[in-house]
Structure 1
């Protein structure tokens, strides 16, 4: 089995989870790059990583690096994606993968040009419970999809200087948590929604604090999404079919779903995988894609979700400084 050398660009929460995922698989990250060199050194010491770069740019020039995991703020992604993809590196990029559809289109073109894998680190596409549900739905036992209802509400300190509410750091509910809800919707819908209406409530900084979104595709499947950065809601997804409905809680890294059958009301619990192994599933699927064994990263869904998020923000008239 090929052992790929991974580099992390960023030393935050996700980077720590990535390093731990590597350890769970009996390996470790090869190298680390970060804007603050001292943090990179501390991170490397914590996880026994052999290489720390003096400059971020050095990670792109290192011929030993196979895959780069980017977990810096949203608005820095395209800059690093350009450098990584042009250097011939495979890239797994934290969500949201870019600010908008135009940036993602550029990144996809660069990946194709340089014959490398580009993917968004969207846990939903890799958790075993979603793959199992896909099998059940494909069997036809639940009948056609009718409606999806999504909730995601976080309670963030109402501090306009933190990244969640900062325009300069691409804050707001859509890019931070909406991407999960819309990725969930896209996973279960037959095709990308082509009819979208929405409402938004802005934070004092001008980013979206709260939103309600209605979606419908050409198959007449519908979805509702409710997001908030300052009102706690359960991370709940409900998928309603003709013959039953599925409920999933803590859906970004879900491990359990309950199916209720309409005819007699009986319930079936589906348990697959573990929330704690979310990053491990992503890493394994990425390595399968890089090896050419299986295209399991669903970049097509990522493109669809980014198209939706871009359209919604365009309807709102909401732009980030990089887009002005």
Structure 2
């Protein structure tokens, strides 16, 4: 298969990590598209990238572009997804891939109609650690999964103009960090949760600042999720089985887990992959999907997680974004 040309739409932190991931493989981004042209030029000069578009829409019509990585704010994703997929480009889109299930279903249909790969850049689905843990769990040595506990809390300055609290920029804990916790839950649960309860504390702007979520699936596996944008928590995942439990710190880009076995209390450390290579793993899986392996990007899990987030945010919290009210 020929080498694919990647373009970045957006040139923030993630775009820098994407370029660095490609450079680790002896490659470069083919092109840069950015709302502020000067920032795109500066990004291209920093890395020696040859193409910067005068108009952001030019990335969609460039016949040399194979894959577009979208890393703009959440509420801009669907418009860019429409343009990219209609133009025949594969898309890897930063989380959260869309605002809601309706937008995602539209994008999925467009990708299918044009025989394209669409995926969310959810690192949990691509880090070697999580794949290794699934192998251990599948072996049966830990027994049956009973409970998952998730913590994800960031301390953001209480500035209501900040994008994290800005309703006009699709702010809030759910779309920013909750998507990681729920993706972790979905990765390890045998099926998507069908019973969901939640509580929320809103910021003055009306977005979710803090939340607690309880989930159960048809197998009786349960999960608890605690989120906050204004109270620091460890990025911790705990998987409890009848024969042991697994602790993972520094998820979602985890590289180390500790298994404790109930019978005698002995522990086992599992290490796989490197945190610094998170984007490289995503790129590799995306290119494998484009080459024909449609089982590595887990769009089915992305849809399950989006359905959960949409249900919780709109049906249980009554929280909407301006784009959903038009």
Q: Aligning the two structures, in what range does the TM-score lie when normalised by the shorter sequence?
A: over 0.9
Aligned CA-pair RMSD? 0.6
> Which consecutive segments of 4 or more residues in structure 1 shift more than 2 A?
none
Corresponding residue number in structure 1 for 2:125: 125
Alpha-carbon contact 1:211-1:228 (below 8 Å) kept: yes
The alignment partner of 2:91 has SS state of strand
For residues 19 and 162 of structure 1, the distance between their equivalents in structure 2, rounded to whole angstroms, comes to 26
The offset of 1:2, in angstroms, is: 2.4
Partner deviation per Cα, 1:180-224 (whole Å, 9 max, x = no partner): 000000000000000000000000000000000000000000000
> What residue in structure 2 maps to residue 110 of structure 1?
110
Show the counterpart of 1:201.
201
User: 2: CA distance between counterparts of 1:110 and 1:228?
Assistant: 34
Match of residue 12 from structure 1: 12
Structure 1 stretches lacking a partner, 5+ long:
none
Query: CA separation in 2, counterparts of 1:252 and 1:8?
Result: 22
SS of equivalent residue, structure 1 residue 171: coil
Give the CA deviation at 1:242: 1.1
2:64 counterpart residue number = 64
Q: How is 1:186-265 mapped onto 2 (pairs within 5 angstroms)?
A: 186-265=186-265
Q: Distance in 2 between matches of 1:264 and 1:136?
A: 18
Which residue is equivalent to 1:323?
Answer: 324
Q: d(CA) in 1 for partners of 2:138 and 2:289?
A: 23
Q: Per-residue displacement from partner, 1:77-98 (whole Å, max 9, x unpaired)?
A: 0000000001110000000000
Per the alignment, in what secondary structure is the counterpart of residue 311 of structure 1?
helix
Report the equivalent of 1:76.
76
Residue by residue over 1:261-314, the C-alpha shift from the partner in whole angstroms, topping out at 9 and shown as x without a partner, is 111110000000000000000000000000114520000000000000000012
- Which deviations, in whole Å up to 9, do the C-alpha atoms of 1:142-195 show, x marking residues without a partner? 111100000000000110001000000000000000000000000000000000
User: Matches of 2:293 and 2:202 in 1, distance apart?
Assistant: 45
Aligned position for 1:272: 272
TM-score (norm 2): 0.99
**Cα distance in 1 for residues equivalent to 2:294 and 2:210:** 37
Partners in 2 of 1:283 and 1:123 — Cα distance? 10
User: What are structure 2's unaligned runs of at least 5 residues?
Assistant: none
Question: For 1:244 and 1:101, how far apart are their aligned partners in 2?
Answer: 36
Structure 1: distance between partners of 2:132 and 2:184: 14
Structure 1 CA distance for aligned equivalents of residues 200 and 93 of structure 2:
27
Equivalent residues of 1:288, 1:295 under 8 A apart: no
The TM-score, its normalising length taken from structure 1, stands at 0.99
| Whole-Å separation in 2 of the counterparts to 1:173 and 1:2 | 40
Q: Are residue 96 (structure 1) and residue 96 (structure 2) matched?
A: yes
Corresponding residue for 1:46?
A: 46
CA distance in 1, matches of 2:103, 2:294: 26
Matched, 1:161 2:168: no
SS of 1:83 mapped into structure 2 = helix
Query: Could you report, residue by residue, the CA deviation over 1:65-114 in whole angstroms, capped at 9, with x for unpaired residues?
Result: 00000000000000000000011100000000000000000000000000
3-state SS of 1:253 partner = coil
